[in-house]
Amino acid sequence: MSGRGTNVQHHRAAGRPSVAVLSRGLIFETALRLLDERGENGFGMREIARALGVRPSALYNHVRSKEDVLDGIRDLIVARFDLSGFGVLPWDEALAQWARSYMGSFAAHPPTIAMLAVQPVAQGSRTSLMYEAVTAGLMDAGWPADRVFEVIVGLESFIIGSAFDQAAPQDMFDPSDDAGLSAMRRAYDAREQSLEGERPSSRAFERGLRVMLSGLRAELAQLNRDTDAD
């Protein structure tokens, strides 16, 4: 009945508890679980506290703000990104591995995408270390410093957009009852049908990723040719 930690039902008196009931990690994991289960609405400090059997104000002994919680959630997700290719595989394969794991990790937690795409990256977070690793990987592979940023941002934009699409295409634009939207209606249905159970937009993602990578390969080759010519 008791000791599960997550669901102490009856009253706890004020004052420090004998056994620790909260930690940053526990708060982050609970928050992520709630976000997945209930979506962006119904996810707040009071809900997190309730799920942990605690009063809302208790959270603030471990966490500075809700934004801090969001940062913690992001780090949980970013921890699953695959950086192992950089320095080992060719840069384009490493980048593809990173992009796929990026996409997959966010797609596994749909409601986080919208929230995290908007939020600036916290300093000192695991997330900023991830960016550092990718940046360094590309520069070691010969990409000029003044282009690396744009390469990452461009690719990332595409990834986030795809994750958005994968998470909630029917919500984002559903031509359901709207009059005068025949082309969209047809395109929407045709796509729905041609997917046939395939994870939606993973196909579009693979195609787009290949297009972007081949473009980048061509650009780097061109840059190297220009450099050799000097």
Backbone angles phi, psi at 180, to 5 degrees: 75, 20
Residue with smaller CB distance to DNA, 60 or 149: 60
Q: Compute the least distance from the CB of residue 113 to its own copies, in Å.
A: 9
How far apart, in whole angstroms, are the C-alpha atoms of residue 65 and residue 67?
A: 5
The pair of structure tokens assigned to 64 is: 């500075």
Count of residues interacting with its own copies (CB under 8 A): 67
Are 138 and 95 in contact, with CB atoms under 8 Å apart? yes
* Residue 161, binding choice from its own copies, DNA, none, Cβ under 5 to 8 Å by partner class: its own copies
- Which residues from 35-94 bind DNA, rule CB under 7 A? 42-47, 49, 53-58, 60-62, 65-67
**Half-sphere exposure of residue 135, counting CA atoms within 13 Å on the CB side?**
12
Q: Which of 90, 154, 221, 222 binds its own copies (CB under 8 A)?
A: 154
* Residue 229, binding choice from DNA, its own copies, none, Cβ under 5 to 8 Å by partner class: none
29-64 burial: b if 16+ Cβ within 10 Å, else e: ebbbebbeeeeeeebbbebbbebbbbeeebbeebbe
Q: Does 24 bind DNA (CB under 7 A)?
A: no
The pair of structure tokens assigned to 129 is: 């270390």
Helices 66-78 and 110-118: crossing angle in degrees, nearest 10, is 120
Binding site for its own copies (CB under 8 A): 114, 117-118, 120-121, 123-124, 128-129, 131-132, 135-136, 139, 144-150, 153-154, 156-162, 164-165, 168-169, 171-178, 180-184, 186-191, 193-194, 201, 203-204, 207-208, 210-212, 214-216, 219
Binding site for DNA (CB under 7 A): 11-18, 20-22, 42-47, 49, 53-58, 60-62, 65-67
